Amino acid sequence: MVYRFLTFPLFIAVTILCTIEAKAYTNFIGHSYTSCLNCHYNPTGGGPLTDYGRAVSATAISSKMLYPDSWSEERVAYASGFLFRKPKQKWLRTQINYRGFQVVRNPGSERTEEKQWINMQLDARLILKFGQNDKFVAVGNYGYAPLPEGVEEQTEWRSREHYVGYRFTPKFGVYAGLMDKAYGIKVLEHIAFSRSAPQVAQNDQVHGVMGHFLGEKWEITGQGFAGNLGQEAELQMKGGSLMVERTSFDIHRLGFSAMKSKNEFLDLTSYAVHGRFNLKEGSAVLAEIGETTKTTFNKTDDRTMRYGLLQTYLRPFRGVYFLSNIEYFNKDVEQDDYTVRWGPGLQFFPVQRVELRFDAYNTRNFSTSSSTKDSWMYLLQAHLWL
Amino acid sequence: MIRICLLLLITSVSMAHASEIVQAYKAKKTGRIIEIYRANPKRAYTKKEFIVISYALRKQGLFKADILVNVRMIKKEFAKEHKKILADIKKGATIDADSYSKLLKHTYWNLMNDYGRIMQGYKSVSEINPKDREHYAVFSKILSELEFREGQVDKLNDKITAHIQYVQNRVYRFTYGFSLQYLSWQQQSILEGAGSSTNLIVTNKGYCAGGELGMENYLFHFSLDACFLLGSGGVSSAGSAINYQQSNVPAYGVKAGPGVSMIVSSSKSRIGIKVPIVYNLQELAQPNQAGYEVKTESPLSIVTSLYSRWQFDSFYIQTEFGQYVGKDETLWSLGIGKSF
């Protein structure tokens, strides 16, 4: 019954192990936005933007270079709505979102270079909101996502998220439906070890209920989930997560997360500590370190993984961010071998609705038994939204 | 009789000037107004003439001359009111803004703007005149007390403060600092055999302790840094012709070079580039297999790297990622430091 309610016809949950992008810009703490709820309907970030979030994107994040000089910030903000219009009513919002990229693996290698354009995401989003301060919201996000190699007989169209939320007070709200798990820093990179190891990446949404508290200093999110109900029952990861953050020195955030989930084959226990630091004028540093203990039903792949993330966004001009992405991953803490992935990048918002991004990833393996050549990958990404 | 004639002559000349100033104003000839004023600056102008001259001087950007005109006008026309307001401000008494004439308020406004424009013209620290700042502050305070154009006064105050700060920030100052970096770097070596060769992959990790000297203003940082490398690494052959493997091979050396970075936030976080030279000494054992020999290329390499630093007061965290010039090898580091 609950399942039917949550997957109403327009947003049928189709489970596929494919790649979508968690669209959350946690680095915007550099613009003094400590909580995701300022700009997103989802209190943990990602997904559709609120009207305020769209205005911030237009007036603080994106460059103003393509607007006429005579346009005030207020006018730019008004033009940030769907199809460049100021909404005529309060209760309905629509959004369209596209993201695609060219991935180049082993660039420069005559034998092994691979180039591929991937349409990562094409979403239509519908938001219904009612009451004072939009205390009731219903969000649906349906779209295209490519299937991973080898997966057949599944549709490439799916519901990315659908949920209803009610804020009993500005400080406390409850949300129910298909959502991302509340765990760690929701960085944009879906290949990040900090997202893949605890299984909170782009295809790991779950049906569940989330309680969210937002106080002066503290932000606490608790979630109980029954897995993705579109999956076969034995694959559904059931469990719960808790994420706690505290504002420090007025502008930084320190936090921790814990999560336990299991299905018939796998049991995962994860915990992490993280920090988001405001370097002012839009620049920020994100850091997370955590461990995931994996227990398999046949005991063949039991291990504890350790990961670390250090990501910088330095903003020399409005609309431009230089990235430095450093990741650490030890797939088994009992072993000394580990991997470090280092990636400089550039993110450019020439105008609201357009994001262009370049990322380079250099992966180096450290092993006691061998020394291997680094691997390289480039990503050229375009993200458009209406 | 002669005296009367002279008086009439002076009066007629004076009246001719007066009418000429007004006529020049009506004809929008500000240059002419200034010419007339300069020909006889000490003459007792009327209130109306002062206003016209002040207008002309401001229009021509002659702010210092305009200050003199406005001060003269206050002394001549509003001496009593001016003394009263200064005394009231000093005493901290309540000021009835409505009891002061509108023209006096405008004159104060012009004076504040004149000093503001003069200060906005400062291009270097040596040009900053404390007297200008002092006088500006006095007129700004008077206008605030008179509640005259409050929003504009605040806006100009912010603008002036920002400009003075900008001029001061442009000055380069000497900086130095110490840092400790954890880094991984590579070394190019070849395993040569009879008629064939294979690359050796040498990946090191270790620490680099050192310091930097630099010059920095609010926007740019030019530096020269150096540190001593100490670490070890593993070696493997890239090809399958011969199996060569070593681990924990000690490595030491120096990494030194210039860099330039752009300061992107008030926290002094920065991004930039560095061109360090890496001198790496590492002795690889010769293989047991006869006919093969390890050849290490020059221990000296030049690296071009991207650099970022996140400053928390005087402490910082820095990252560096670079590629060796003309080679495939890379270097990266993550460090902490303290700057002075």
| Chain B nearest CA to A281, separation (Å) | 6
Contact A309, A340 (CB under 8 A): no
Higher local confidence (pLDDT), A191 or A149: A191
Q: Considering chain A, what is the average pLDDT of its residues?
A: 86
CB-based contact A157:A142 (threshold 8 Å): yes
Question: Band of the pLDDT at B40, cuts 50, 70, 90?
Answer: confident
Q: What is the mean pLDDT of residues A359-382?
A: 90
Tens of pLDDT, residue by residue over A283-341, are 999 999 999 999 999 888 899 999 999 999 999 989 999 999 999 999 999 998 999 99
Q: Could you report the per-residue pLDDT of A110-125, keeping only the tens digit for each? A: 888 899 998 888 999 9
- The per-residue pLDDT for range A28-50, each reduced to its tens digit, is 888 878 888 888 999 998 888 88
Top mean pLDDT of A44-58, A273-287, B119-133 is at: A273-287
Which secondary structure element, helix H or strand E, spans residue A169, and what is its range?
strand A157-169
Determine the residue among B189, B191, B269, B316 to mutate to test chain A binding: the one whose Cβ has the most chain A Cβ atoms within 10 Å.
B269
CB atoms within 10 A of CB B90: 8
What pLDDT, on a 0 to 100 scale, did the predictor assign at position A230?
84
By the 10 Å C-beta count (0-12 exposed, 13-18 middle, 19+ buried), A217 is classed as exposed
CA A271 to chain centre: 18
pLDDT at residue A310, rounded to an integer: 94
**Where residue B10 falls among pLDDT bands split at 50, 70, 90?**
very low
Q: Which 203-262 residues of chain B touch chain A by CB within 8 A?
A: 203, 205, 233-236, 238, 245, 247, 262
Structure tokens belonging to residue A218: 């503290």
What is the reported pLDDT for B19? 67
Dump pLDDT digits (tens) for A75-99: 888 888 887 778 888 899 999 999 9
3-state helix, strand, coil in chain A (%, to 5): 10, 50, 35
Among A281, A310, A342, select the one facing B265 at the smallest CB separation.
Answer: A281
> Residue B183: CB partners within 8 Å, gap ≥ 6?
B205, B206, B207, B208, B229, B231, B255, B320, B331, B332, B333, B334, B335
Tell me which residues of chain B, numbers 31 to 90, contact chain A at a CB-CB cutoff of 8 Å.
none
Token pair 């752009």: residue: B262
Compare all CA atoms of chain A with the CA of B200 and give the residue at the minimum distance: A371
Enumerate chain A positions whose Cβ falls within 8 A of a Cβ in B: 277, 279-283, 285, 310, 312, 314-316, 322, 324, 326, 340, 342, 344, 362, 364, 366-374
The rounded distance, in Å, linking the Cα atoms of A51 and A38 is 10
pTM value is: 0.78
For chain A, the farthest-separated pair of C-alpha atoms sits apart, in whole angstroms, at 67
Residues in chain A with CB shorter than 8 Å from the CB of B321 are: 324, 342, 344, 362
- Residue owning tokens 């229009």: B59
Residue B271: which of A314, A326, A340 has the nearest Cβ?
A314
Distance, CA of A163 to CA of A165 (rounded, Å) = 7
What confidence tens digit (pLDDT) does each residue in A159-208 have?
889 999 999 999 999 999 999 999 999 988 888 999 999 999 887 899 99
Q: Roughly what angle, to the nearest 10 degrees, separates helices B47-59 and B2-26? A: 50
Is residue A23 predicted with pLDDT exceeding 50? no
What pLDDT band is residue B273 in, cutting at 50, 70 and 90?
A: very high
- Chain B CB contacts of A277 below 8 Å: 310
ipTM of the complex: 0.78
pLDDT of residue B212: 94
A358 in Cβ contact with A332 (< 8 Å): no
